[in-house]
A and B are shown apart, each in its own frame.
Chain A
Amino acid sequence: MDAVALPGAPMRRWRPKPLIDNAWTRYLVYLGAILYAALAFGTLEINWARAAEGFERGARFIAGFFPPDFITKRQEIAEGLLESITMTVVSTAIGIILAVPVALGAARNLAPLPIYLLCRAVIALSRTFQEIIIAIVFVAMVGFGPLAGMLTLSFATIGFMAKLLAEDIEEIETSQAEAVRATGASWFQLLAWGIQPQVLPRFIGLSAYRLDINFRESAVLGLVGAGGIGDTLNNAFERYEFDTAAAIMLIIIVIVMGCEYASSWIRRKVQ
């Protein structure tokens, strides 16, 4: 779409519309980005000599990974996996059960303002901190082991599920809920027949997705002593058993891939 050159007028090339319309904001953003990059690289303390040495180390390190050793520590790997899986299952179940009431309270079309604010605060609290940080606190409270991991994941699940479910409840078709209410249904009947059928497919999809996330997270909680396969992995690293570590990481990748396929299959099926 080159502009037609009018006689006497300079030829102007057509340009696509930029992402930020206002030219001033656009150049301010560019300037800010350049300034930030200069500042960030300027203050970064990177030991380049150590990093260069790292490539040689990296090669040896990767050589240490092969061949992955599934056999020597199979007992510990199996225990770690079992802990991770049980942690995932129980925490997802508990988290979902606790998330439903919070989600109902955090939906503006169902809950009065004080309850709404309270539930939103619970969600915000659960979502701001990284799982690892919550795990540190739980480990300090209930001791090392998978129970701390289970509590952490349950806590994180509440925030995740409640937020997404509440958003879903706020977007329902109100006419269906109204029709149920018009029959004289009580609040609980309204939930069961007016709202639950509308959000159920997405609820199942979210639960499957969260199960997947929880397994992934359970693989790292062990780093702070909260049990699971992460514990085994961390031990392998600390004992420089890199071949065992490689085996554990391969197992994690395979299970995560499997979980992801399963959860996306479930989501496709119900939506």
Chain B
Amino acid sequence: MPVASTSSGQKAWMRRTTSGDLAVWAAWLAGVAIVVASFEIISQATIWAFVWDAPTQGADLIGRMFPPRWSYLDQLWKPMWDTINMATLGTGLAILLGVPVAFLAAHNTTPSALLVRPIAIFVIVASRSINSLIWALLLVVVFGPGTLAGILSIALRSIGFIGKLLYEAIEEIDRTQVEAVTATGAGRAQVLAWGIVPQIMPAFAGIAVFRWDINIREATVLGLVGAGGIGMQLQASINVLAWPQVTVIFALILVTVVVSEWLSARVRHAVI
């Protein structure tokens, strides 16, 4: 324990040694310097006159957003239904594709740690690092605007998420149960079905529902790049500066997201 002597010669407890203190101080200095320098760069790319104007602009924006044009809601049910379908079907497709990838990526189930595992891990990382909006941007060019591009981009982004969390769950299973099943003379497929799958089922259900909840949120904005759903209405309303309609869309998104979050929390509580 670091100890210092006070002027009267008595020993006093200190939290860190002197060099430890210096190191912490230097780390803080470096951190603050990086943040300030970064802010400087942002500030150079900013037109500050617009920013000082922001309170007026904000008040103006809110003034234009209210009262909401509730009658617009009639045109929103179909896009909202499409949005929910995009999230749900996309999650379903991601489960179909992501589960095998997870089994190929987990140390204890992969057929070949040298060949197959790195490929599976690369699929997971590539899918996770590209945001679903960027996937949508690509797929809209390929398949044309519409829900199909939305479903596929949701699915492509979710494969990595489901794959990663599921393969971590597979690696954390209880080995003894697998051994017990193996001891009965079960083949590889039987070990998988009776030793591993039952153990990861609760985790799997939790992961799937969690991702579905996230996907609802993501699906609401995919329309901004043309991939279907309520985002297309949002884009159209913003383009013509129809702010009262934007308010209605925001309100609908808010309600949908809150409901889906509640649903997913309920299911996760039930299975875990």
Contact = CB atoms under 8 A, between A and B. Distances in A.
Interface stretch (A111-119, A138-146, A173-181, A182-190): A138-146
Given A54-B144, A89-B35, A83 B41 contact: yes
Given A19-B205, A54-B143, A150-B42, A249 B134 contact: yes
Interface residues of A, number: 58
**Residue picked from B39, B47, B201, B217, most chain A C-beta under 10 Å:** B39
B134 A146 contact: no
B129 A86 contact: no
A86 B42 contact: yes
Interface string B32-66: 00110011011101110011001001100100000
Contacts of A237: 137, 141
A71 interface: no
**Binding site secondary structure of chain A:** helix
A58 interface: yes
B95 to A, nearest CB: 13
A45 B51 contact: no
B238 to A, nearest CB: 7
**Residue picked from A16, A143, A224, most chain B C-beta under 10 Å:** A143
A129 B42 contact: no
B216 to A, nearest CB: 10
B42 A141 contact: no
**Residue picked from A50, A133, A224, most chain B C-beta under 10 Å:** A133
**Residue picked from A19, A124, A227, most chain B C-beta under 10 Å:** A19
A58 B258 CA distance: 37
B111 to A, nearest CB: 24
Contact of B42 (A44, A87, A252): A87
B130 A249 contact: yes
Contact of A132 (B34, B128, B224, B258): B224
A237 B202 CA distance: 42
A220 B147 contact: no
Nearest to B205: A19
B38 A130 contact: no
B145 to A, nearest CB: 9
A3 interface: no
Interface string B123-163: 00110111101100110011110111000000000000000
Contact of B125 (A40, A147, A260): A260
Contact of B147 (A45, A133, A142, A233): A45
A98 interface: no
Contacts of B234: 133
A50 B201 contact: no
B106 interface: no
Given A57-B142, A61-B141, A90-B35, A147 B205 contact: no
A144 to B, nearest CB: 9
Interface string A9-22: 00000001101000
A147 B148 contact: no
A165 interface: no
**Residue picked from A16, A86, A146, A253, most chain B C-beta under 10 Å:** A86
B130 A252 contact: yes
Contacts of A82: 41
B250 to A, nearest CB: 7
Interface of A: 16-17, 19, 36, 40, 43-47, 50-51, 53-54, 57-58, 61, 82-83, 85-87, 89-90, 93, 124, 128-130, 132-133, 136-137, 140-143, 145-147, 150, 216-217, 219-220, 223-224, 227, 230, 233-234, 237, 249, 252-253, 256-257, 260
